[in-house]
Amino acid sequence: MKISYKWLKEYVDVDLTPKKLAEKLTMHSFEVEGITYQGEGLDGVVVGEILEIKGHPNADKLSIAKVDVGEENPRQIIFGQMAKMEVGLKVPVALAPTILLGDKKIEKSKLRGEFSEGMLCLDQELGFLKEGISITFFAKNVDNGTLIKKALNLDDVIFEIDILPNRAHDCLSHIGVAREVAVLLNEKLKTKNEKLEIKTSKASELLSVKIENEELCRRYSVASVGGVEIKKSPDWLKSRLESCGVRPINNIVDITNFVMFSFGQPMHAFDADKLQGKILVRNAQKGEKLIALDEKEYELTEEDLVIADEKNPIAIAGVMGGLETAVDENTKNIIFEAANFQGIYVRKTSSRLKLASESSYRFEREIDEELTLEAISKAVEMAKDLAGGKLQGDIIDIYQSPVKKRNIKFNFDRIENLLGMKIEKEKIFSILISLGFEVSEKDKEIEVLVPTFRKDVQKTNDIIEEIGRINGYENIKETPANIQMKSVIQDKTLLMETNIKKSMEGLGFFEVYNYSFIGEREINGSLLKIENHHELQNPLSEEFMYMRTSLLSDLLNNTRDNLKHRESFKLFELGRIYLKDDKEGVDEKKILSGVMVNKNQKKISFYDLKGQLEVVLEKIGIEKLIYQEIENPENFWHKGRSAEILCKKKLIGKIGEIHPIALNNFNLETRVVFFEIYIENLVDLIANTKSYQKINKFPGVELDLSVVFDENVKWGEIKRAINSADNNLIQGVEPFDIYRGRGLGENKKSIAFRVFYQAEDRTLTDEEVKIVQDKIINELEKLGGEVRK
Amino acid sequence: MKNKINDIKNKAIEEIKKAKTFTEVETLRVKYSGRKSELTNVLRGLKDLSSEEKKEIGELSNMTKQTIDSELAKKELEIKNEELNNIDEKERIDITYPGEKSEKGHLHPLTKVRYDIEEIFKSMGFLVVEDREVEDEFHNFDAMNMPKNHPARDMQDTFWLKNGCVPRTHTSSVQARFMEKNKPPFKIISLGRVYRNENSDATHESNFHQVEGLIAAKSGDVTVANAKSIISEFMKGLFGEETKIRLRPSYFPFVEPGFEFDASCPYCKGEGCRICKKCGWIELGGAGMVNQNVFEKVRFTEDEFEGFAFGFGIERLAMIKYGIDDIRLFHAGDLRFLEQF
């Protein structure tokens, strides 16, 4: 909310620089996010009168003006086509050399061969907070050369204050903020109508009001003002509104806005002569329509609340008035309305109609029911001063169940128990009283009566917060907590994840983070099914429509992007995927995925990635992996070069090349090897303890064999056959060469491998090794193997 | 004969001394110590001598051979050492030529900062927990004292899934899940991804990461003074011992009182610079004493416990720590960025 320093000072004496005041508010009340000094950067901007205009000889889109800026000679200034200029107009002129807001330097210069000694300025170039493109013109009687900040009265300071929902009840107004400032500075609030006596009735001859839904409309006050003259507001009022970022319209509308920004009470003015009969506050009928002040038609439902006359709705309660009954230049008699509507209702209607206003913003956040009369009588008073209007009859005020002040009682100890600091009773009392609370004490208890405007204060801790913040959090000393606790055992899965990531890093992988959202193009590109993905109701864009079910598409995008400046790399991500469970719910899984790519490598890097992945898994104690063809593989796998990874019969992941069709979809010409590991499935498999194995001192024997097999015999089968030959002496089998080609015949391969034999209790003899090797050969022959001599 | 032997010895010693190479030594070995050496030749005449003389000459020739062998060995070592002494020069390399690097991997900067944060809190006895990212409305909002139609819900731009679930807007939902299963006292932190329906720019992202912390114990055991201490210890751990913190009043529905906390700028030490926008402080996160309404939602007796909760963005910490000026880099997967960490 924008708060004007000048306006604020009407309600409270402030003897601080704006910066100091902002600091005080920020440390004790709410955050001042910005301070704007009006007139900043305008020291070299004056009123100038355009004396003549001619085209620029060398540029079609530029013109040259002679401008009287109050100096001896007029200045020559070149300008463009952003705003229409005419001889005789008085406009803001930046006199070169000067510096405008945002360090924009204006200097004497030559533009296509013609001199320019300044700039004709748009509002936006002067830092006026206005939308679009506009220019300020000055009246004939303003002297040329007058500083525009003087001509426009730009000597205010505007605070941008972030009022959060807890203080929106009482501080979305200048008086609200002034009340807070008064507490901080130990000053008195200077509101005039402090002991206002207003005569009210339930009805009058002129006006009669009926509230049909008291739950949604807690109070409704109206005043009839006759004989108003609609005209422009005086400058002081216009500048007040402009400082809050609101466009002045006419005196009556401006009064309603002024009152809102003063008190925080939204108001509305109807043209009394356009109303038919009495005023009703009722639920809308289904399908009922209203054209609001924004000139758009809204269709209402029974859940909406309207203000209506006997025929038609005339306003959407708390949100916006109707166009038909609006005040216009011919209006003579008006009705001011100040009401109190329930927040939830206003919020629902405003969000359903996508129609928000300063009024709905305040009602949604709930405001004090006690505000209406003060606000309406201020409006009546202003209408008399600024429009010559007279109050007709009494103010009508319907207020069935007046709010009661909340009463909160608690033990004094609670204050120290929560803040961790002892505060003197006297200090506590003075803080609460200055904030408008009524305080009494009884034994060890404090009893607090909360003013109606502090709707946020509901419980003990709310009161203690008031004491804490006004006293200052900087006065609370840092004290280590002393809580008796059992020892903390960290989560096994998280520790495992850390170990995995560190191993991946050690092996040369780059860790990436990708978004959880993906688009249809990514899903289709990675040959997955759209219907398996959770869709967002309100995505930011098409690329962010769905929750990912695989990390593949992100990693392929990363791969393609990085291949522009790298030839080979390895990436991994440990993230979540979001699957559908049987009830359309979200089944979140953690997944470790990685890719390996090398533009220059001709050999399949499947085995490189497989080997490195095994190192990572072995580091966390997951060994003895089985690889088998994927059952129902997703379409993105290269079916001849992919595998499921099992450990103790549990599926822990998949590894393989990505199908070139999918790669094409991501504009990748290089083969990519990919893996995914299901983190949750690892948890039960990780080895928690390791036990020492005695180091074998007896020498072992290594013997190599070279055996020819049919192409379709897999190493896994060969290894199993070798191991089945003997349970004790074979300690290891490793292949070291595969040969295909000349001398072997079609579809044959020769695999060379090394077997390591060792006994635990003796040095092996050649004979013993020979016996086992013969058994191995025997087993391999069963697989069709033929030993090469 | 004796003289002959001594002559051979002297001649051998002299020649060995002069030898410069292994080849020369080898030639001398053949000449003086081998089977066809001069000494062997002399000893051929031994058969003509008396047994006494035989013994005497035999001893002498043995000693002579030993002496020659030992001289040869000495010379050999001498030549070898000389060669090794010269090796430094002979084998000199260009030490500025690049080394053969093995592949270097990189953890993501957010992971690194996450580990830093975890280390500090673990050392203070906190348990690290995790929970769902896609939440139900209750745990993300209602349990956090943000009922439907409450304006506080406007403070977070929310994504919704078609099935009504919410990609969580804050890690605070973990608090509710943890407290449904555990009673105070406890100290936890939870780190993870959160979602806000905001267009991205240099300082905003729709996917980012938060740390959430919660301490709860019986009323009186957790205070604002303790809260200041925990935040302060953490900030010192992250930005250095001289770091100061301050609390400012603020509002989050799930705490009361609520604060925002700032740390003194680690770049200018509070003097004011570009990073802290000249104010000397850097806004880091939100905190507060747990709102009793939150405890009620997980069925704790009102006013039996007090808690302190805090939260902040991991990206923001990483940006300050490493001087990163665009939050979008974290999710761009660009190796030229990632290899810097």
- Nearest CA-CA distance, residue A556 and chain B, Å: 11
* Contact assignment for B249 to A28 by CB distance below 8 Å: yes
Of all residues in chain B, the percent with pLDDT exceeding 70 is: 100
Whether B103 and A570 lie within 8 Å, measured CB to CB? yes
- Interface contact flag, B222 A578, Cβ < 8 Å: no
Contact assignment for B256 to A365 by CB distance below 8 Å: no
Tokens of A763: 């040095």
Residues 420-479 of A with CB under 8 A from B: 420-421, 459-462, 464-465, 468-469, 473-474, 476-479
Number of domains in chain A: 6
**CA–CA–CA angle A445, A447, A451 (5° rounding):** 160
Positive or negative CA dihedral for A67, A68, A69, A73?
Answer: positive
Round to whole Å and give the CA distance between A53 and A72: 19
* Nearest-CA distance A495 → chain B (Å): 10
Q: Could you tell me if A533 lies within 8 Å of chain B, comparing CB atoms?
A: no
pLDDT digits (tens, 9 = 90+) for A27-50: 999 999 999 888 888 989 999 999
What is the C-alpha separation between A153 and A172, in angstroms, rounded?
A: 25
Query: What is the per-residue pLDDT for A129?
Result: 62
State how far residue B172 is from chain A, nearest Cα, in angstroms.
Answer: 18
State how far residue A354 is from chain B, nearest Cα, in angstroms: 14
State how far residue A214 is from chain B, nearest Cα, in angstroms: 19
3 state DSSP class of B38: helix
- The complex's ipTM works out to 0.84
Distance of residue B94 Cα from the nearest chain A Cα, in angstroms: 27
d(CA A181, CA A175): 10
The minimum CA-CA distance between B248 and chain A, rounded to whole Å, is: 5
Q: Which two tokens stand for residue B298?
A: 């997980």
Contact predicate A776/A756, CB 8 Å: no
CATH number of the domain that A133 lies in? 2.40.50.140
Query: Which of the 8 DSSP states describes residue A234?
Result: P
φ and ψ of A75, to 5 deg: -95, 150
Handedness of CA A660, A661, A662, A668 (dihedral sign): positive
* Same-domain check for residues A345 and A388: yes
Instruction: Look up the CATH number of the domain holding residue A10.
Output: 3.30.56.10
| Chain-chain contact of B257 with A464 (C-beta, under 8 angstroms) | yes
CB atoms A488 and B105 under 8 Å: no
**Which is more confidently placed, A538 or B101?**
A538
pLDDT of A40 reads 85
Measured distance between the N- and C-terminal CA atoms of chain A, rounded to whole angstroms: 91
A166 and A218 in a single domain? The answer is no
Note the pLDDT of residue B268: 86
Task: List, as one string, the DSSP characters of A372-405.
Answer: HHHHHHHHHHHHHHHH--EEEEEEEEE-SS----
Cis peptide before B147 (omega within 30 of 0): no
Question: pLDDT tens-digit profile of B154-206?
Answer: 888 899 999 999 999 999 999 999 999 999 999 999 999 999 999 999 999 99
H-type helices in A30-163, by residue range? 148-151
- Contact of A679 with A606, CB cutoff 8 Å: no
Question: Do the beta carbons of residue B264 and residue B281 sit within 8 Å?
Answer: yes
Domain assignment present for A193 = no
Give the closest residue to A246 by CA, choosing from A262, A229, A231: A262
Q: Any idea what DSSP says for residue A208?
A: B
Interface test with chain B among A409, A454, A586, by most B beta carbons within 10 Å: A586
List the domain boundaries for chain B.
2-90, 109-338
In a domain, A375, yes or no: yes
Name the residue of chain B whose CA is nearest to A561's CA. B334
Comparing CB atoms, the residue among B217, B229, B256 nearest residue A483 is B217
Whether residues A359 and A449 share a domain: the answer is no
The one-letter code for the residue type at A382 is M
Any bridge partners for residue B312, and if so which? Answer: B211, B285
The residues pairing with A32 across neighbouring beta strands, listed in sequence order, are A161
Question: B229: distance to nearest CA of chain A, Å?
Answer: 4
Residue B321 touches partner A, C-beta closer than 8 Å: no
Query: Taking CB atoms and an 8 Å cutoff, what residues of chain B touch A479?
Result: 223, 225-226, 228-229
Reported as type and span, the H/E element at residue A27 is helix A18-28
Give the CATH fold of the B109-338 domain: BirA Bifunctional Protein; domain 2 (3.30.930)
Nearest to B134 among A166, A565, A578 (CB): A578
Determine the Cα–Cα distance for residues B126 and B178; give it in Å rounded to an integer: 13
Q: Per the structure block, which two tokens stand in for A293? A: 């002040």
Residue A687 is assigned to a structural domain of this protein? no
State the amino acid at position A404 in one-letter form: K
Contact A570 B105 (CB under 8 A): yes
| Cα A665 → chain centroid | 33
Residues of chain A numbered 476-505 and touching chain B (CB < 8 Å): 476-485, 488-491, 494, 498, 501-502, 504-505
- Main-chain dihedrals φ then ψ at residue A3, nearest 5 degrees: -120, 125
Output DSSP code: residue B303.
Answer: T
Asked whether residue A208 falls in the same domain as residue A267, the answer is yes
What's the pLDDT score for residue A192? 61
pLDDT tens sequence across B211-240: 999 999 998 899 999 999 999 999 999 999
Please report the pLDDT score of residue A132 as a whole number. Answer: 74
Question: What is the span of the domain harbouring residue A612?
Answer: 492-682
- Tell me how far apart the alpha carbons of residues A415 and A410 are, in angstroms, rounded to a whole number: 9
For B149, which of A30, A347, A544 is closest by C-beta distance? A347
Residue with tokens 């819900």: B153
- Closest CA–CA distance from residue A535 to any residue of chain B (Å): 6
Residues pairing with A450 in the sheet: A406
Above 70 in pLDDT, residue B262? yes
* CB within 8 Å of chain B, chain A residues 44-103: none
Q: How far apart are CA B248 and CA A605, in angstroms?
A: 56
Domain-ending residue, one of A445, A474, A503: A474
Task: Give the pLDDT of residue A130.
Answer: 64
Do A550 and A662 have their domain in common?
yes
Residues A291 and A388 occupy one common structural domain: yes
Q: Is residue A40 part of a domain?
A: no
Q: A26 at the B interface (CB within 8 A)?
A: yes
| Element at A411 (helix H, strand E) | strand A406-411
d(CA A211, CA A281): 5
As a whole number of angstroms, the longest Cα–Cα distance in chain B is 131
Residue of B nearest to A362 (CA): B151
Residue with tokens 């033990």: A411
A661 lies in some domain: yes
Nearest residue on chain A to B105, judged by CA atoms?
A508
Q: Does B330 touch chain A if contact means CB atoms closer than 8 Å?
A: yes
Subunit contact B303:A460, Cβ cutoff 8 A? yes
Task: Map residue B167 onto helix, strand or coil.
Answer: strand
| Preferred mutation among A363, A488, A589 to probe B, highest tally of B CBs within 10 A | A488
In this structure, are strands A209-211 and A279-283 parallel, antiparallel, or unpaired?
A: parallel
Query: Which regions in chain A score pLDDT beneath 50?
Result: none
Q: Report whether pLDDT(B112) > 90.
A: yes
Minimum distance, in Å, between the CA of residue B261 and any CA atom of chain A:
11
The mean pLDDT of chain A is 92
The CB density around residue A69, as the number of other CB atoms within 10 Å, is 21
At A223, phi and psi to the nearest 5?
-135, 140
**Which of A19, A344, A421, A478 has the highest number of chain B CBs within 10 A, making it the mutation to test binding with B?**
A478
Contact at CB, B253 and A165, closer than 8 angstroms: yes
How many helices (H) and strands (E) chain B has is answered by: 11, 9
Q: How confident is the model at residue B123 (pLDDT cuts 50, 70, 90)?
A: very high
CB-CB under 8 Å, B134 with A483: no
To the nearest whole Å, the CA of A527 is away from the closest chain B CA by: 22
User: Exposed (0-12), middle (13-18) or buried (19+): which is A448, by Cβ within 10 Å?
Assistant: buried
Chain A residues in contact with B107 by the CB 8 A cut-off are 501-502, 505, 511
Angle, nearest 10°, between helix axes A18-28 and A174-185? 90
Helical segments of B201-250, H only: 224-239
Q: A513 contacts in B (CB within 8 Å)?
A: 108, 110, 330-331, 333
Q: Does B185 touch chain A (CB under 8 A)?
A: yes
**pLDDT attached to residue A195:** 58
Residue A172 DSSP one-character state: S
A459 found inside a domain = yes
Which chain A positions have a beta carbon within 8 Å of B105's beta carbon? 504-511, 570
Who among A31, A343, A538 is closest to B197 (CB)?
A538
Instruction: DSSP letter for A536, please.
Output: B
Regarding whether A293 and A373 lie in a shared domain, the answer is yes
pLDDT of residue B156: 82
Q: Across the interface, do A30 and B250 touch by the CB < 8 Å criterion?
A: yes
